[in-house]
Structure 1
Amino acid sequence: MNLAHTLEVVKAYGLLQSSGFIDLKNPGETLRTLKDSKTYIPQATLIMHSARIAPDAPGLADERGELTYRELDEQSTKIAHGLRSAGITEGTVIGILARDHRGLILSMAAAGKLGVKIALMNTGFAKPQFAEVCEREKVKAVLHDSEFLGLLDALPADMPRFLTWVDEGAELPEGARTLDDLIAANGTETLPAPAKPGGFIILTSGTTGLPKGAPREKASPVATAQFLDRMPFPKRSTVVIVSPIFHSTGLGTYLVSIGLTNKIVMRRRFDAEATLKMLSDHKAELLVAVPTMLHRMVELPAEVRAKYDTSALKGIILAGSALSPELCVKATEVFGPVLYNLYGSTEVAIATVAQPADLAKAPGTVGRPPLTCDVRLYDDNDKAVTTKNVTARIFVRSGAPFEGYTDGRHKQIIDGYMSSGDVGHFTEDGLLMVDGRDDDMIVSGGENVFPQEVENLLLERDDIFDAAVVGVDDAEFGKRLRAFVVPEPGHTPDEAEIKTYVKENLARYKVPREVVFLDDLPRNPTGKLLRRVLVEYEV
């Protein structure tokens, strides 16, 4: 670690203190929490911490009501006793397949108290994917919502399983056990501490195939500072999280928020108007979402948005997929200058954050690196690119390094910087612009096209709600561009007119040869576009 980086780490600890994440006026609690962090994963450590300093503070609100931090701590301990009695002990790997609700939060905390390793499963899995990931990650028990009962047919019949949420009217198999059963049957006696943190596995988005497992043994305090440096996390207030918590952004923002003893408001399925209602009802200061969710909120009729008071909102953190310049401008008009565009990945953690002033200067930018992070660009020959406005591969050095995939593979690393898998450029002001995925580049007639540029242009049109551009095989050009367009409600865009519009604004080789109109684009729960589905689409 060089001197500059060492100084940044020192600054990071100073930020943790100034933000209230650690309290030097209460050294006993600070030391206890630091000690716990060496034994438990943060999903357990931070609930235990907030339960000690503010037991009666609201910790979570979902469709079933609210739980205090004391209740979160006690109920997760009861669940841990129940899991232990079922033979789920330190070192076991459990899969959690749950939407955002108390069952997910309690399951993670309970597993953490046992020293059990968690594999956070994608709620969009099909049965073959789910079975393959469970086998690869050596899952020995599953905690899941009732809606996913069908997926469990692919697992051994004798594998222990517990229901984290039961839908009204759900038909449960004989002998099914729920978290409520475990809470009712067990006490709150202190559990033996595990020898070390069980760890947790976050799955990659899987946009190019089966999701890979990215393990984290524990969370570094430095990683927390990366969130706090350029984003407005409140303390003892309210945070609404609609990003899926099984993925890195939702999980990271959740952990920072409970470490600051906030009330976390969540619901099982995203709904644009319901999210506005949550913000209004709970007077939330922070919203965590993916751009597609924000898009649907902004597109609500003005009279619907006007029903809800969101004046307490000080920040909207966006991540998971690209924030288009058009959405950036529209959302700022609706909510004010409160957008924070977070760029990173499951592997590199946080790379950069764009604050409202950055987005006003360059809509769609991903901004600058926070404390302990740095970004460099490298060309295809692994040489550093320092010239402004030149597109090259993005590499990130983070204070929360990736430990390698569970299948043994790793990302490319150059000079201590890890590939993000994206390409981008720096503006004259030093702001990072992401131009697209490295593997999304389309070579058509010998010309390189990054689809995001064409997509952003299409999204500027009033008659287009959503758009995607992919390359499909072409005998003459190798690949040709095909645009997929979701019309704005009440509009009927014209294919020829769309092509003319692109031709008038971009180079001729970036004009789609065909335009296909769809009701919706295929996206995963984090908002990422499933381009392979569109490439294989039968026209």
Structure 2
Amino acid sequence: MSISLLLEMASSSDPDRTAVVADDIRLTTEQLSTLADGGAGIITGSGAQHVAYVGTGGAMLPLLLFASARAAVPVTPLNYRLSADGLRALLDRLPDPLVVVDDEYRDAVGDGYRVLGSTEFLDGARTAEPVAEFADPDAVGVVLFTSGTTSTPKAVELTHANLTSYITGTVEFGAADPGDAALICVPPYHIAGVSAALSNLYAGRKMVYLTNFDAGEWIRLVGTENVTSATVVPTMLDRIVTILDADKVALPSLRTLAYGGSKVALPLVRRALSLLPDVGFVNAYGLTETSSTIAVLTPDDHRAALSAADDAAIRRLGSVGQPVPGIEVQIRGEDGTVLGAGEPGELFVRGEQVSGRYTGVGSVLDENGWFPTRDVAHLDADGYLFIGGRSDDTIIRGGENIAPAEIEDVLVEHPHVRDCAVVGADDPEWGQIIVAVVVPQPGADPDVDDLRAHVRAQLRGSRTPDRVVFRDELPTNATGKVLRRDLVGELNATTKESL
């Protein structure tokens, strides 16, 4: 099934429904479909083998997704926050692309490419000779570059079948109420941005785009557009909660708030739940290679964990829930053995939505179709999935493997800690030492020995941070992932300077 069919179904079912709201642009499903046909005509006429988009998204993201699909050409939204050199390095990896670019990033793209401005593409799509074909379901529809927080970005190939199997397996067509609206503020180059455009259109929700996140504007849009659902990353949730807490703002239309992209500190989740008691919270976990979400902690799971009395149920608030329909999971040890409940190992996933294929590399699925996520994880006795971070993040101190997440989960519960990240810094004696990078609560002045004692009281002594350093904020990417490599680089450079 081609993603083109998702728009075909939406426009045929309810052509006058508002599909997209972005600044001064408002498009019905029929208008979006007509523009996608015209956009496909532009792409086909250009002779390009690929479409690249450099911009903040809004209406351009769903338009280019469907226009490219109807031209049977893959599309790649690129990280507009990259340097000019970084951006061009990724463009050079795409075969003969047509580059569609927002005006403010035109200079970063530079010369040497076939380029159209976003406004030029949109205007041209209104008059171009329409093209509408359904791509082969097994053809690549979207290529996304991984964030590259620890290595060179990989180009993940997602077929139409990968993407549509996720949508049709997790979303009921046209199930949204007539007034439902989704507020989208995740970046277009992230899988969450792609899946939001596809899933909300398929469900029948109006998509309201906030291309440059501001917590105050986010709250305003929830009110003015009667937003019923939204998805945020941890840093966004933190800023939204800060305003809600300070100004006692009510969000009466909001029914569902999903968060994901990286781990969210439990004190923040509990605070959000208490401030928005009538909102259903969803923790969604997924990867680029899996076409978005593979596990969900539902609203009922959140409230049950919050009010639970037994430790196992309480801990589930820190899980990512249970696998979505069509997804199988396994936790494997280093020798490949499938592990039981409570045993940490590497998470493997399998299902039709799982790609596991990279440009220039090919498929990394094993002979039975399992994808190695490189995430450390475990399942509890009832099948709830807990993510312990990337295997690359493991600290090896004196030959002992230490997962940063278990220390972070304890440290962030200290009343003087707002956020934290635990990393391994080079050390001549131990190989690596444990360094806790702490963001204090506003007005707090945490004592280092007190923080170390707090960890030591709940974990083995070998898990106690060797050093504690303080920062005003943690370095993160646009999806809220902590840039641990940056922290390690700074810590190692400081150590060398002091020698």
TM-score (norm 2): 0.88
2-side partners of 1:523 and 1:286: how far apart? 24
Task: Deviation per CA, 1:57-116: give whole Å up to 9, x if none.
Answer: 11111222422222222333333334444x245xx1121122131123322222222222
Distance 1:403 1:444, change over 3 A: closer
* Cα contact 2:38–2:130 (8 A) shared by 1: no
> Where does residue 222 of structure 2 map in the other structure?
279
2-side partners of 1:494 and 1:113: how far apart? 60
> Where does residue 108 of structure 2 map in the other structure?
151
> Where does residue 249 of structure 1 map in the other structure?
192
After TM superposition, the runs of 4+ consecutive aligned structure 1 residues lying more than 6 A away are: none
> Where does residue 309 of structure 2 map in the other structure?
none
**What residue identity is the alignment partner of 2:344?**
T
2-side partners of 1:146 and 1:132: how far apart? 20
**What residue identity is the alignment partner of 1:449?**
I
CA drift of 1:414 comes to 6.5
> Where does residue 430 of structure 1 map in the other structure?
383
Gaps of 5+ in 2: 306-312, 495-499
**SS of the residue aligned with 2:480?**
coil
Of residues 283, 300, 304 in structure 2, which corresponds to 1:341?
A: 283
**What residue identity is the alignment partner of 2:16?**
D
**What residue identity is the alignment partner of 1:69?**
T
Distance 1:70 1:206, change over 3 A: same
Map of 1:484-495 to 2, 5 A cutoff?
484-495=437-448
2-side partners of 1:425 and 1:456: how far apart? 15
2-side partners of 1:123 and 1:104: how far apart? 13
2-side partners of 1:460 and 1:234: how far apart? 38
**What residue identity is the alignment partner of 1:302?**
D
Aligned residues: 475
> Where does residue 325 of structure 1 map in the other structure?
266
Matched, 1:60 2:20: yes
**What residue identity is the alignment partner of 2:323?**
P
> Where does residue 118 of structure 1 map in the other structure?
75
CA drift of 1:264 comes to 0.3
Map of 1:251-400 to 2, 5 A cutoff?
251-300=194-243, 302-304=245-247, 306-307=248-249, 309-336=250-277, 338-349=280-291, 350-359=293-302, 360=305, 361=313, 362-386=316-340, 388-400=341-353
1-side partners of 2:450 and 2:206: how far apart? 49
> Where does residue 18 of structure 1 map in the other structure?
none
Map of 1:95-106 to 2, 5 A cutoff?
95-106=52-63
1-side partners of 2:161 and 2:367: how far apart? 24
Distance 1:207 1:366, change over 3 A: same
**What residue identity is the alignment partner of 1:508?**
G
Of residues 205, 215, 218 in structure 1, which corresponds to 2:157?
A: 215
1-side partners of 2:324 and 2:65: how far apart? 28
* Cα contact 1:112–1:198 (8 A) shared by 2: no
* Cα contact 1:235–1:260 (8 A) shared by 2: no
Distance 1:53 1:473, change over 3 A: same
* Cα contact 2:365–2:371 (8 A) shared by 1: yes
**SS of the residue aligned with 1:300?**
helix
* Cα contact 1:227–1:253 (8 A) shared by 2: no
Matched, 1:452 2:405: yes
> Where does residue 10 of structure 1 map in the other structure?
none
Matched, 1:70 2:30: yes
**SS of the residue aligned with 2:414?**
coil
2-side partners of 1:398 and 1:52: how far apart? 30
CA drift of 1:477 comes to 0.8
Task: Deviation per CA, 1:198-234: give whole Å up to 9, x if none.
Answer: 62112222221222111122035432244338xx973
2-side partners of 1:130 and 1:62: how far apart? 25
Distance 1:294 1:282, change over 3 A: same
* Cα contact 2:43–2:98 (8 A) shared by 1: no
2-side partners of 1:266 and 1:139: how far apart? 30
Distance 1:267 1:301, change over 3 A: closer
Identity of aligned residues (%): 26
**SS of the residue aligned with 1:347?**
helix
2-side partners of 1:77 and 1:192: how far apart? 6
CA drift of 1:180 comes to 4.5
* Cα contact 1:326–1:456 (8 A) shared by 2: no
Distance 1:192 1:243, change over 3 A: closer
Gaps of 5+ in 1: 1-36, 166-177
